[in-house]
Every structure is written in C-alpha cells, then in structure tokens.
Amino acid sequence: MKLIQIYQCLCDETRLRILNLLRGGELCVCHIQEILGARQVRVSKHLAYLRAHGLVAVRREANWMVYRLPDRPSKDLSANLACLQDCLAESPIFGRDTARLRRLKSRFEETSPICCAKKARISDSSRRGAA
C-alpha cells in the first residue's frame, strides 16, 4: 500500500515543512536547513525518510545534494500534495517558511538552486553529468 507510505511521511511537521518548501522547486540541504532553522542531522534524516518512501528525488550537484519532488509523482501522491497545499494555505508556520524561501531565492535567482553563487558557477561547467 503505497498510500500508507505517503501518510507516514506526512505525519511529521518537519517533513511537511520540507515538502511545502520543495513545492517551490528543488533545494539543497543547507537551504532547507537554513529556512527551517533546524540542525543538519535532523533535516538530513527527514530527507532520507522521504527519499526512502519515494516522496522526494535527489541529484548531486558538486558538493550539494539537491532535493526535489518526484518528477512523475503517482496519482496518490499528486492528490495528497495538492490536498496538503490546500490545508496549509493559511498556516502561519508554513507561510513564514514560504516567505523565507522567496527571500532566499532572490539571493541566487539567476544562478543555480544551490548554495553559493560563486561555487554554483563552477559546478555549472561540470554539470554535464546531471539529469
């Protein structure tokens, strides 16, 4: 029952916040970390959990692991993410996260979704391996 795996992922606030952030596009771990204000281990573990349950996908970009929602989410997942988005619409915590995300994105908008613009440019030239 894949559906249950989805619900298992959704019953933790940190994971909900991560999924909420990823709706805005892919993000590296340290950005998630920064926005959530959580320690690295915690974020990393929750991402591992989400990954193991098929709720997120990853690619490596130089030193960074860049997480995103699955490219072809199942019907169940799409439905539940949509439902989640709906439920979160008025939540202050999630609104704050989204606002922080926007501000953070404006810092590296034209470069890459990963941390530091300078390093991002370097990895741009080594990106041939990326999907």
How is 14-49 classified by DSSP, letter by letter? HHHHHHHHHTTS-EEHHHHHHHHT--HHHHHHHHHH
Q: Which 72-111 residues touch DNA, going by CB under 7 A? A: none
Binding window for DNA (CB under 7 A); candidates: 41-49, 76-84, 89-97, 104-112: 41-49
Coil/strand/helix, residue 28: strand
Binding mask 50-79 for DNA (x = CB under 7 A): --------x-x-xxxxx-------------
Binding partner of residue 75 among a second copy, DNA, none, CB cut-off 5 to 8 Å per kind: a second copy
- Residue 5: is it exposed, middle or buried by C-beta count within 10 angstroms (0-12/13-18/19+)? middle
Residues at the interface with DNA (CB under 7 A): 8, 11-12, 14-15, 28-30, 33, 38-49, 58, 60, 62-66, 114-116, 119, 122-123, 126
